[in-house]
């Protein structure tokens, strides 16, 4: 199939991009609003930008009529968010937290996710996450109908179970990724290893 972008509907373009850019990592993002109501939701339009001075990004629709999603709004208003890494035991709970619920209803409670306090920010984190990165807002950039939110990582929490000799061991970290359509995948390192 050969497809010129100009011949495709927005939905068709979106389907192809979301199937081609796979598997995508999932940021399970916890935030808090000005009133202290916490929020938790998954974002797979997510990655890191720099690593030695780590900056991560996620993006969300600007939602002209309905406004921003709670996560993006809270990150902008409070200047803080935490990225929790999703591993296989949390797959169903993570999916549950994508349900559209009113801003004053917590997805932590909805999906029975245990909270813990962060060290450097007021947002809660997922207590049982294998890795959490506490972030402060770096910047936000509008791109077409999306808002890209960038955060500077200020603090890492890493569970002992995923460590070998004090480093994260990818054979112990069963990261969940998102595929096209309704599908997820779980990372298991292959036998072929990077050579260069
Ligand atoms: C695996 C997964 C990945 C998602 N990725 C995104 C994303 O990158 N951007 C986005 O706007 N919504 C994404 N969503 C949908 C949001 O999680 C959903 O709209 C959620 O209700 C937003 O919650 P909030 O309003 O509390 O922020 C994703 C959902 C799932 C299940």
**pLDDT in 10s for each residue of the chain, 196 residues:** 999 999 999 999 999 999 999 999 999 999 999 999 999 999 999 999 999 999 999 999 998 767 899 999 999 999 999 999 999 999 999 999 999 998 889 999 999 999 999 999 999 999 999 999 999 999 999 999 999 999 999 999 999 999 999 999 999 999 999 999 999 999 999 999 999 9
- Which residue shows structure tokens 């990225």? 83
Residues 31, 82: Cα–Cα separation, whole Å: 7
Residue 189: both structure tokens together: 């390192």
Residue 63: both structure tokens together: 């939602």
Exposed/middle/buried for residue 161 (C-beta within 10 Å: 0-12, 13-18, 19+):
exposed
- What are the residue ranges of helices labelled H in 47-149? 70-78, 91-96, 107-110
The β-bridge partners of 125 are 116
Q: Ligand 1, residues 26, 43, 147: which to mutate, most atoms within 8 A of Cβ?
A: 43
Which domains does the chain carry? 23-173 (2.30.110.10)
The pLDDT, as a whole number, for residue 72 is 97
The pLDDT, as a whole number, for residue 118 is 98
Which residue's CA is the nearest one to ligand 1's atom 19?
98
Q: How far is the CA of 166 from the centre of ligand 1 (A)?
A: 32
Q: How far is the CA of 41 from the centre of ligand 1 (A)?
A: 6
Pocket of ligand 1, beta carbon within 6 A: 26, 39, 41-45, 59-61, 69-71, 95, 98, 100, 178
Return the number of other C-beta atoms located less than 10 Å from residue 5's C-beta.
Answer: 8
């Amino acid at each position: 199939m050969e497809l010129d972008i100009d011949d495709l509907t927005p939905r068709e373009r979106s389907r192809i991009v979301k199937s081609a850019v796979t598997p995508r990592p999932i940021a399970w993002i916890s935030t808090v609003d000005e009133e202290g109501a916490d929020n938790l939701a998954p974002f797979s339009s997510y990655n890191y930008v720099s690593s030695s001075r780590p900056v991560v990004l996620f993006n969300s629709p600007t939602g002209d009529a309905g406004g921003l999603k709670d996560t993006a709004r809270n990150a902008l208003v409070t200047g803080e968010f935490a990225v929790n890494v999703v591993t296989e035991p949390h797959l169903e709970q993570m999916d549950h937290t994508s349900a559209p619920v009113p801003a004053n209803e917590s997805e932590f409670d909805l999906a029975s996710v245990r909270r813990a306090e962060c060290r450097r920010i007021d947002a809660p984190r997922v207590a049982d996450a294998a890795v959490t990165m506490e972030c402060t807002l770096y910047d936000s950039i509008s791109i077409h109908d999306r808002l890209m939110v960038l955060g500077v990582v200020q603090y890492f929490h890493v569970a002992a179970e995923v460590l070998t000799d004090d480093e994260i061991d990818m054979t112990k970290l069963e990261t969940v990724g998102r595929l096209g359509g309704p599908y997820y995948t779980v990372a298991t390192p292959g036998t072929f290893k990077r050579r260069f």
